[in-house]
Amino acid sequence: MAAHISLLDPGRLFGLRYIAMKDVTCPDSPLADLCRQRGLKLTGQRRTIAFVLSDSDDHPDVEELYRRAVAVDPRISIATVYRTVRLFEENGILQRRDFGGGRARYEVADGEHSDHYHLIDASTGKVIEFENAELNALLDSIVREKGYDLVTTRLSIVGRRKAGGED
Amino acid sequence: MAAHISLLDPGRLFGLRYIAMKDVTCPDSPLADLCRQRGLKLTGQRRTIAFVLSDSDDHPDVEELYRRAVAVDPRISIATVYRTVRLFEENGILQRRDFGGGRARYEVADGEHSDHYHLIDASTGKVIEFENAELNALLDSIVREKGYDLVTTRLSIVGRRKAGGED
DNA sequence: CGTATTAATGAGAAGGATTATCAATTGCAA
DNA sequence: TTGCAATTGATAATCCTTCTCATTAATACG
Ligand SMILES: [Mn+2]
Ligand SMILES: [Mn+2]
Ligand SMILES: [Zn+2]
Ligand SMILES: [Zn+2]
């Protein structure tokens, strides 16, 4: 039916505009590659969400991810964002966080950035990440001493900026 | 209308059964006293919930509290359990915990039992409480070093029982 | 003690976050 | 290119929690 069309240069046929709206989404990203490596089907929506996540260095919730994804490719629904975020978490690509407030938040499960904790500013809600080897060791020893292997540490500290403390 | 009846001994009038179902709920409890101390109206339902909480040493969710409360006094609704649990938390009588699973869990905000942490058995869901002064100090110093005062520490560790580890 | 006032309750509707359903679409292996 | 299983979009359903509002009950005051 459209066999003869595919032999032509799409850019010269009906003009770039139509082709662009139909096929171009966003470039591949480190997370898109991870997606392939895990044998997950790389759909346009997943490529977009992977792109948005690779581009984020904060802790967005699903609504926020949806906003960012729609800005890249409007052909996406929030249901797919929920599904993708769950899929990525089950495959170790994303980490789910709970900072209170009732919505899950996500960040890339980066290798070296992996074992970090979160301090939350009580007034602004700003999230400050930190690593601490001593804390890692102490938690591990506490758990081991009770006859357990540490599986997951869920820690978030709420703090209030000190009066005289300029950062 | 019932004025002359109230002058009689209720236990001798219609028999204990009727009077008991109408008026007797449960004895006062340490938490019921706290309720009074804070100037909160001490309703029958609140006395019952306070009694159930004073009698618990675990981390029940609202459904579980409702079950325990109904066993003491059937004249209670789950809406009231939700309301009371929130009221008690706002007044520092209860602490809300989040062990994952989507439902809030509660425990009495006991003075000396206050600064403890939770280790959750990954297989059974069993909650193991522990205190650790070194952990207290380390968390405090981490937060202070970043220019903050520690407000709340939300920590729960998920662990798996070690293979050769008999408790 | 009886009454008035005001807050609390019960039942169920509403809300917010997340998951499930299902017909239509699409990635991808052959 | 085709075929098919997996994915998607739209929206209903679910789960936990809060809200609404008419009824009931606790407390202060006489
Ligand atoms: Mn939570
Ligand atoms: Mn609803
Ligand atoms: Zn982080
Ligand atoms: Zn506890």
- Is the C-beta atom of B97 closer than 7 angstroms to strand C? no
pLDDT confidence of residue A165: 55
| A101 Cα: distance to centroid of ligand 2 (angstroms) | 19
Q: B100 and A166 in contact by Cβ < 8 A?
A: no
| Residues A135-160, mean pLDDT to the nearest whole number | 97
Quick one: closest CA in B to A142, which residue?
B132
Residues in chain B with CB shorter than 8 Å from the CB of A164 are: none
pLDDT confidence of residue B22: 47
Residue B130, strand partner residues: B117
pLDDT tens per residue across span A99-113: 999 999 999 998 888
B144-147 CB contacts, 8 Å cutoff, 24+ apart: B144/A162, B146/A119, B146/A128, B146/A130, B146/A159, B146/A167, B147/A161, B147/A162, B147/A165, B147/A166, B147/A167
Per DSSP, the three-state class of B31 is helix
pLDDT confidence of residue B24: 63
Quick one: closest CA in B to A103, which residue?
B102
Give the count of alpha carbons within 13 A of A166, CB side only: 0
Nearest to B129 by CA among B64, B52, B63, B57: B57
**Distance in angstroms (rounded) separating the CA atoms of residues B50 and B33:** 9
CA of A51 to C1' of D29 (A): 70
Nearest to B158 by CA among A152, A79, A94, A118: A152
pLDDT along chain B (167 residues), means of 10: 31 39 76 95 98 97 98 96 98 96 95 90 95 98 98 97 72
CA of A150 to C1' of D16 (A): 29
For ligand 1, a single-atom ion, the residues with CB < 5 A are A 98; B 98
- Nucleic acid strand C: bases within 7 A of protein CB: 1-2, 7-12, 16-21, 26-28
How sure is the predictor about A167, in pLDDT bands with cuts at 50, 70 and 90?
A: low
- What is the least distance, in Å, from the CA of A127 to any CA of chain B? 12
How many contacts does A have with B, using Cβ atoms within 8 A?
Answer: 110
pTM: 0.85
pLDDT confidence of residue A18: 42
SS3 content of chain A, % helix, strand, coil (to 5): 45, 20, 40
pLDDT tens per residue across span A3-32: 222 323 333 433 344 444 446 689 999 999
**Distance in angstroms (rounded) separating the CA atoms of residues A12 and A17:** 11
**Distance in angstroms (rounded) separating the CA atoms of residues B95 and B81:** 15
**Distance in angstroms (rounded) separating the CA atoms of residues A26 and A49:** 10
**Distance in angstroms (rounded) separating the CA atoms of residues B35 and B33:** 5
- What is the least distance, in Å, from the CA of B37 to any CA of chain A? 29
Mean of all residue pLDDT scores within chain A: 87
Sheet hosting strand A127-130, strand order edge to edge: A127-130, A117-121, A148-161, B148-161, B117-121, B127-130
Q: Mutating which of B146, B156, B166 best tests the A interface, going by the most A Cβ atoms within 10 A? A: B146
**Distance in angstroms (rounded) separating the CA atoms of residues B63 and B79:** 10
CB atoms within 10 A of CB B84: 25
Residues in chain B with CB shorter than 8 Å from the CB of A159 are: 143, 146, 148-151
Q: Which of residues 70-99 of B touch strand D (CB under 7 A)?
A: 78-79, 82, 86
Query: Strand A94-97 relative to strand A148-161: parallel, antiparallel, unpaired?
Result: unpaired
